[in-house]
Amino acid sequence: MDTAKRKSITVLTSSTVSFAICFMIWMVFAVLGLPIKQQFNLNETEFGLLTAMPVLSGSLIRVPLGIWADRFGGRIVFFLLMLFCVPPVFLLQYAHSYSQFLLIALWLGLVGGSFSVGTPYVAKWFKKENQGLAMGIFGAGNAGAALNKFLAPAIIAAFGWQMVPRVYAVILLVVAILFWCFSYAEPASHTTKKTCLSDQLKLIKNPRVLKYSQYYSVVFGGYVGISLWMVSYYVEEYHFPLVQAALLAACFSLPGGVLRAFGGWLSDKYGAHKVTWAVMWVCWVAFFILSYPQTQLSIQTVSGNLNLHMGLNVVLFTIILFVVGVALAIGKASVFKFIANEFPDDMGTVSGVVGLAGGLGGFFLPILFGLLVDLTGIRSSSFMLMYGTVCVSLIWMHFSFKKEHI
C-alpha cells in the first residue's frame, strides 16, 4: 500500500472514531437526562430544553469551526476542540441545579461542532469520485448516539448517573490524544485556504447553501431530535425501564449512524438529488404512520357497542422507526454530496453553515416535542410535527429543482 493511501485510511479511521466519541458525548442527555429529570421533577418542556442545550452550542460553533478548518487546517482544530470539551464533561457530575446543568451543557455541546471540522478534513484526502463514500464513513460516527444508549444505561445501573461524566471525560481525553498520534496535516495538494474572512462569510447568503441547509435541518435535525427524545418516548409511552428503552431507541440511532456510508455510496452512484428526493418520500410515509395516536373507538351497532383499539404496538413502532433511521442516514450523506460537488474549495465554511442549520433543527425539535406533549397530552404529536416538516421540505425541493431545470 502506497504512503498516500495508507495515510488517507489512517486519517479516515482516526477521524471517524473521534467523531463517534464526540457525538456520543453530544447526545449524553438522551439517557442521562432521565435520572436528572426525575431528581429535579422536570416537566416535558424543561426536559426537552435540557437535552437540546448541547445541540444549540454545538450548532452555533459549526460556522466558525468550519472557517477555522479552512484557514488553519482540520487536524489542529479538531484536536484542540476535543481537549477544550474535556473539562465540562467532567464537571457535569458536580452540577446541583437545573440552571447549572444548562450552563455546563452549553460548554459541553461545543464538541458537536466536530462534524464541520472533520468533514472537510477527511474529504481532502480522497478523490472527488470517492468523497461521498469517505464523508459517509466519517459521518457514520453519528452512531455515537447509539453507543451512548448502550454505555450510559449500564453505567447508571451499576454506579449511578454521576459516574457517566467521569467515564466520558476520560474517554474523550484518550481519544483526542490518539487522534493526534494517528492523523496527519492536510495533503500538499490541499493547503489551508488563505482567502479573507469576508469572502467566506458571503457563502452564507448563497441560495444553494440556504437550500442545502433546509434539507439538512430535516435529515440531520430530525435524526438528532428523535435520538434525544426516543428513550423518554419508550419509557413514557410503552412503560419500559431505562435500560430496555435505551436499547430499543438504539434501533433508530444505530442505523441512522452506521448506514451513512451506504448513503455516500448511493450518492456517488446515482447522484445527490435522486437519493435525497427518495429519502424525503420514505420519511413522509413513515412519519404519517407514526403520527397516529393510541385511539379507542366505540362504534354503536345494532347489537350494541363495538370497541376498537387503533395504534402501533411496540414492535411495529420500532420497525417503522428503524426504517426512518435508515432513510435519514442516507439523506445526511446525500446532502453533503451536494456540498462536495459544488463547493470543493470551501467545504469547511459551507459544511459549517449547513451543519448549523441541521443542528438548530436538532435543538428546537426536542423543545417543541416537549411543548406539544405538555399542551396536547398526545405523545405522538412529535411525529405529527416531523410529518409537517417533511411536507414543507418536499414542496420546497420540488419547486427549487424545477426552477433550476427550466
What would the pLDDT profile of 98-112 be if each residue is shown by its tens digit?
Answer: 999 999 999 999 998
Give the CA distances from residue 102 to residues 31, 53, 57, 96, 151, in Å, rounded to whole numbers and listed in that order.
16, 6, 11, 11, 22
Contact 45, 97 (CB under 8 A): no
User: What is the pTM assigned to this prediction?
Assistant: 0.79
Residue 81 has pLDDT above 50, yes or no: yes
Q: Is 300 helix (H, G, I), strand (E, B) or coil?
A: strand
Per-residue confidence at 6, pLDDT binned at 50, 70, 90? Answer: confident
User: What pLDDT sits at residue 190?
Assistant: 52
pLDDT at residue number 372: 92
Choose among 126, 131, 114: nearest CA to 176: 114
The mean pLDDT value of the chain amounts to: 86
pLDDT at residue 1, as a whole number: 53
CB 109 within 8 A of CB 26: yes
Residue of 170, 214, 168 lying closest to 31 (CA atoms): 168
- Residue 351 has what pLDDT? 74
Is the pLDDT reported for residue 255 higher than 80? yes
Give 356's pLDDT tier (boundaries 50, 70, 90). Answer: confident
User: Facing residues of 307 across strands?
Assistant: 298
In angstroms, the CA 344 to CA 342 distance is 6
d(CA 137, CA 171): 21
pLDDT tens string 383-406? 999 999 898 888 877 777 655 544
**Distance (Å, rounded) from C-alpha 53 to C-alpha 31?**
14
pLDDT band at 127 (very low <50, low <70, confident <90, very high): confident
Cβ-contact 65, 77 below 8 angstroms:
yes
Position 406 scores a pLDDT of 43
Q: What percent of the chain has pLDDT over 70?
A: 93
pLDDT at 71 > cutoff 90:
no
H-only helix segments in 259-346: 260-270, 272-290, 314-342
Question: Over the stretch 268-284, which tens digit does the pLDDT of each residue have?
Answer: 888 888 898 899 999 99
Q: Which domains does the chain have, with CATH numbers?
A: 3-185+197-404 (1.20.1250.20)
Do 268 and 130 form a contact (C-beta atoms < 8 A)?
yes
Q: What is the pLDDT of residue 31?
A: 92
**What pLDDT sits at residue 405?**
45
Output the pLDDT for position 288.
94
